[in-house]
């Protein structure tokens, strides 16, 4: 027993001796202390002891801040530094680049600013570098090209400018590149064609110009490709047919020449396919219906022709199918509603046919507005008839036309301080829904899925915060949101000119970008009225100069067929994931549409003016009568004789 105790003591002593001998390289100790102190993290990382101390609180796998070291040669080097989502501010201190053994640096989701120093190029051993969701500006440094061991590089959601440096083409080991919403612009450098190891590329919401890069077709390891909300032009290169390992493909908002879907026929690994607004024409290949893993298919806002393929009836995986705003025709497949399908959008196509009478009762949502599809219960009464005005040349009329409507988007009815009665719009919508207001004066239509957060926002949002810059705070505490297309139709309107008031307030995104990364989000969307774009890249928070502030935009529009169409559209721009996943797309608080009077004011304004004029005239008349009575009484007490006029005085020429 004594021998066993002695052995244990010796092992323990040796272990302590080894620990005592292992120390961090002195220059790195000085550097990490200055970095931690500069970013105000001394209370979280007590570096009065060696930063590479075994079992330190900041060395555990889930620690944040986290410092990890390599002590294999009895001298320790800092290899991992994680300061993630801690709201640290300031610039990148030069001491950071003295940690030359760093392999993994995660500074994501902070409010770091300034440019990225060229000294970053001396961190030759870096494999994972995350600078995403910060306030960095300036150009992306060419010195990043020196980090040839990089496997993952992220500088998404920043404020860089200028083109991507051609030196990024040296990163031939790169597997993941996240540059979405980073601010870069210009064409894709041809030198990036060397990145053959890439399997993930996020590049949406940037100012890229020119043609879609042909060389992306050589990245045969790609599993995820996102290129939405840029200024790139089609056609989609035929070389993309080689990207058969793709599981998530999102291209959208293209200009230039039209494309076809022929390049897709062998993409059997796809789970998500979104080619929304990509100038895609021709027919839908029947092979798409056989893709065993395809869950989301969005081909909306294109030029597709022909019939909906019968093969889509056989899909065992498809959950969301968006085919709206195309030139499709023929009869909708009889069994298009599979057990797995949750949402179907076929709106604004020349298709006909019938859907099961119990479609909406079995937990599915569908949008068939602007078609001749008979979907029992989707549109009822006069709304169903009027919806056909959207796809026919008939001049629709209304026996009892109205001249206004108002909607409190996403919330309960209320009367504003100006006497406008806003209708209830709190109905729960689905991923492809249409709902008629209780008074049949308006319809709301929503299409789109929050792909990255399907269990997240359900197309409405609300806040308990007080809304400033308005007397009607409650009007702005709820809003409709959409990941793609949100439409309000006014129905049965008198054909005339109308004033369209759109009420906004940014209630999802904070605006304190100086103290928290949660204030770095950017929401951008477009607004069309009667098919004409009236707002492009509209940013509520910027226009209102802050979050939770009311903003009203007014426009005039003509109604010629009893219907007004207010369409809010996400065009792929803005951040996707701040402060939470799937925070993007159109948002609107209320809509008020009223007929413009012949003198240029709305009917509502005319009524208000009438009330004011009536009250004023009534007051003047009262004063006049009182003065007359007093005058007669006073004259009665005066001994003078007064001459009485028997004729009314003649009006002067100037009073005519």
pLDDT at 453: 74
Tokens found for residue 280: 């895609």
Dihedrals phi, psi of 503, to nearest 5 degrees: -105, 130
Q: CA–CA separation, 269 vs 244, rounded Å?
A: 7
The answer to whether the beta carbons of residues 218 and 242 sit under 8 Å apart is yes
Angle (nearest 5°) at CA 494 between 488 and 499: 55
Average pLDDT over residues 538-549: 97
Q: Name the pLDDT band for 454 (thresholds 50, 70, 90).
A: low
Q: CA–CA separation, 564 vs 557, rounded Å?
A: 8
pLDDT at 392: 62
In 212-359 the beta strands, taken as DSSP E runs, fall at 224-227, 233-234, 248-251, 255-256, 272-274, 281-282, 296-298, 303-304, 320-322, 329-331, 343-345, 350-354
- 87-108 tens-digit pLDDT: 999 999 999 999 999 999 999 9
Highest-confidence range of 4-8, 46-50, 113-117, 400-404, by mean pLDDT?
A: 113-117
Q: CA–CA separation, 259 vs 461, rounded Å?
A: 37
Dihedrals phi, psi of 175, to nearest 5 degrees: -110, -30
Residue with tokens 């020196």: 146
Tokens found for residue 560: 């010629």
The answer to whether the beta carbons of residues 449 and 320 sit under 8 Å apart is yes
Average pLDDT over residues 160-173: 98
Q: Name the pLDDT band for 631 (thresholds 50, 70, 90).
A: very low
Q: Name the pLDDT band for 81 (thresholds 50, 70, 90).
A: very high
pLDDT at 366: 87
Q: CA–CA separation, 559 vs 653, rounded Å?
A: 43
Q: Over 80: is that where the pLDDT of 471 sits?
A: yes
**Three-state SS at 578:** coil
Please state whether the peptide bond connecting residue 573 to the residue before it is cis, i.e. omega within 30 degrees of 0. Answer: no
To the nearest whole number, what is the mean pLDDT of the chain?
Answer: 87
pLDDT at 602: 45
| Residue percentage of the chain with pLDDT more than 70 | 83
Q: Over 80: is that where the pLDDT of 375 sits?
A: no
* DSSP string of 434-480, one letter each residue: EEE-TTSSEEEEEE---TT-TTS--SEEE--SPPBSSS-GGGGSEEE
Q: Over 90: is that where the pLDDT of 29 sits?
A: yes
Average pLDDT over residues 251-278: 97
Q: Over 90: is that where the pLDDT of 548 sits?
A: yes
**Three-state SS at 224:** strand
pLDDT at 598: 57
Please state whether the peptide bond connecting residue 606 to the residue before it is cis, i.e. omega within 30 degrees of 0. Answer: no
Starting at the edge strand found earlier in the chain, the sheet holding 478-481 runs: 460-462, 478-481, 587-588
Average pLDDT over residues 368-372: 88
Q: CA–CA separation, 40 vs 116, rounded Å?
A: 20
Average pLDDT over residues 13-27: 62
Q: Name the pLDDT band for 512 (thresholds 50, 70, 90).
A: confident
Q: What is the DSSP letter of 409?
A: E
pLDDT at 86: 97
Q: Over 70: is that where the pLDDT of 16 sits?
A: no
Q: What is the CA radius of gyration of the chain?
A: 33
Report the run of H or E that residue 186 belongs to, with start and end.
Answer: strand 185-186
* DSSP string of 78-130, one letter each residue: EEEEE--SS--EE---GGGGG-TT-SEEE--SSEEEEPPPGGGGG-TT--EEE
Q: Name the pLDDT band for 576 (thresholds 50, 70, 90).
A: very high
Q: Over 60: is that where the pLDDT of 14 sits?
A: no
Q: Over 70: is that where the pLDDT of 384 sits?
A: no
- 414-438 tens-digit pLDDT: 999 999 999 999 999 989 988 999 8
Query: Who wins on pLDDT, 615 or 286?
Result: 286
Average pLDDT over residues 584-590: 97
**Three-state SS at 554:** strand
pLDDT at 383: 52
Tell how strand 66-70 and strand 89-90 pair up.
unpaired
- Return the exposure string of 100-136: e unless at least 16 CB atoms fall within 10 Å of the residue's CB, then b: bbbbbbbbbbbbbbeebbeebbebebbbbbbbbbbbb
User: CA quadruple 486, 492, 497, 503: dihedral positive or negative?
Assistant: negative
Kindly compute the dihedral angle of the four CA atoms of residues 471, 474, 477, 480, in this order, to the nearest 10 degrees.
Answer: -100
Q: Over 70: is that where the pLDDT of 11 sits?
A: no
Which of 537, 545, 540, 388 has the alpha carbon at shortest distance from 479? 540
pLDDT at 627: 44
Average pLDDT over residues 326-337: 93
Least trusted range by pLDDT, from 78-82, 354-358, 498-502: 354-358
Residue with tokens 């098919």: 531
CA distances to 86, 88, 130, 487 from 64, rounded to whole Å, are 8, 12, 15, 44
Tokens found for residue 81: 């530094």
Q: Name the pLDDT band for 481 (thresholds 50, 70, 90).
A: very high
Query: Who wins on pLDDT, 386 or 421?
Result: 421
Q: How many residues does the chain have?
A: 656
Q: Name the pLDDT band for 377 (thresholds 50, 70, 90).
A: low
Give the largest CA-CA distance in the chain.
142
Tokens found for residue 555: 């426009």
Report the run of H or E that residue 208 belongs to, with start and end.
Answer: strand 207-208
Q: Name the pLDDT band for 123 (thresholds 50, 70, 90).
A: very high
The separation between the first and the last C-alpha atoms of the chain, rounded to the nearest angstrom, is 126
- 233-261 tens-digit pLDDT: 999 999 999 999 999 999 999 999 999 99
Q: CA–CA separation, 414 vs 6, rounded Å?
A: 83
Q: CA–CA separation, 524 vs 483, rounded Å?
A: 11
pLDDT at 387: 62
Q: CA–CA separation, 66 vs 415, rounded Å?
A: 54
pLDDT at 601: 46
Residue with tokens 């959409």: 482
CA distances to 36, 486, 539 from 368, rounded to whole Å, are 58, 14, 30
């Amino acid at each position: 027993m004594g021998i066993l105790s002695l052995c244990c003591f010796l092992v323990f002593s040796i272990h302590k001796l080894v620990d005592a001998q292992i120390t961090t390289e002195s220059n790195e100790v000085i550097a990490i202390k200055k970095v931690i102190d500069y970013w105000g993290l001394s209370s979280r990382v007590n570096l009065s002891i060696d930063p590479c101390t075994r079992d330190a609180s900041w060395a555990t796998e889930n620690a944040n801040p986290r410092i990890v070291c390599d002590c294999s040669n009895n001298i320790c080097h800092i290899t991992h530094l994680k300061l993630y989502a801690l709201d640290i501010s300031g610039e990148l201190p030069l001491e950071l680049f003295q940690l030359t053994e760093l392999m993994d640096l995660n500074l994501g989701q902070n409010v770091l600013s300034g440019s990225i120093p060229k000294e970053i190029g001396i961190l030759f051993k870096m494999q994972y570098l995350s600078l995403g969701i910060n306030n960095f500006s300036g150009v992306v440094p060419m010195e990043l090209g020196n980090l040839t061991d990089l496997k993952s590089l992220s500088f998404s959601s920043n404020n860089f400018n200028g083109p991507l440096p051609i030196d990024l083409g040296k990163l031939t080991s790169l597997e993941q590149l996240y540059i979405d919403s980073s601010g870069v612009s210009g064409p894709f450098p041809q030198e990036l064609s060397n990145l053959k190891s890439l399997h993930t590329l996020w590049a949406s919401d940037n100012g890229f110009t020119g043609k879609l890069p042909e060389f992306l077709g050589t990245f045969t390891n790609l599993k995820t490709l996102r290129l939405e909300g840029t200024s790139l032009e089609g056609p989609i290169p035929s070389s993309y047919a080689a990207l058969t390992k793709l599981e998530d493909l999102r291209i959208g908002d293209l200009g230039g020449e039209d494309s076809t879907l022929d390049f897709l026929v062998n993409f059997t690994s796809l789970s998500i396919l979104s080619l929304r607004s990509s100038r895609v024409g021709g027919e839908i290949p029947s092979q798409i219906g056989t893709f065993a893993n395809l869950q989301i298919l969005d081909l909306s806002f294109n030029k597709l022709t022909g019939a909906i393929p019968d093969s889509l009836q056989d899909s065992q995986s498809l959950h969301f199918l968006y085919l709206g705003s195309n030139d499709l025709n023929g009869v909708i497949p009889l069994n298009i509603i599979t057990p797995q399908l949750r949402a179907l959008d076929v709106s604004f196509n020349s298709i006909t046919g019938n859907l099961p009478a119990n479609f909406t009762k079995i937990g599915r949502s569908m949008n068939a507005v602007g078609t001749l599809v008979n979907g029992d219960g989707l549109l009822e009464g006069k709304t169903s008839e009027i919806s056909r005005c959207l796809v026919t040349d008939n001049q629709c009329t209304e026996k009892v036309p109205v001249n206004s409507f108002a909607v409190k988007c996403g919330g309960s009815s209320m009367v504003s301080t100006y006497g406008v009665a806003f209708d209830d719009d709190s109905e729960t919508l689905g991923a492809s829904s249409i709902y008629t207001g209780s008074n049949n004066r308006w319809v709301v239509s929503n299409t789109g899925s929050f792909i990255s957060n399907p269990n997240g926002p359900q197309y409405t949002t609300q806040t308990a915060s007080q809304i400033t810059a308005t007397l009607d705070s409650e009007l702005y505490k709820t809003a409709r949101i959409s990941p793609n297309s949100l439409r309000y139709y006014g129905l049965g309107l008198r054909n005339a000119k109308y004033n369209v008031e759109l009420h906004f307030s940014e209630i999802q995104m904070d605006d304190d970008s100086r103290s928290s990364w949660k204030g770095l989000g950017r929401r951008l969307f477009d607004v069309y009225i009667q098919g004409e774009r009236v707002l492009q890249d509209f940013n509520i928070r910027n226009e209102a100069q802050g979050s939770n502030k009311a903003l009203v935009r007014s426009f005039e529009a003509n109604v010629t067929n009893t219907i007004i169409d207010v369409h809010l559209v996400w065009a792929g721009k803005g951040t996707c994931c701040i402060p939470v996943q799937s925070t993007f797309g159109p948002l609107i608080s209320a809509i008020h549409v009223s007929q413009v009077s012949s003198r240029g004011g709305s009917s509502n304004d005319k009524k208000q003016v009438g009330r004011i004029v009536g009250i004023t005239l009534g007051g003047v008349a009262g004063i006049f009568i009182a003065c007359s009575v007093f005058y007669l009484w006073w004259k009665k007490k005066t001994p003078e004789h007064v001459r009485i006029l028997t004729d009314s005085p003649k009006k002067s020429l100037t009073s005519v």
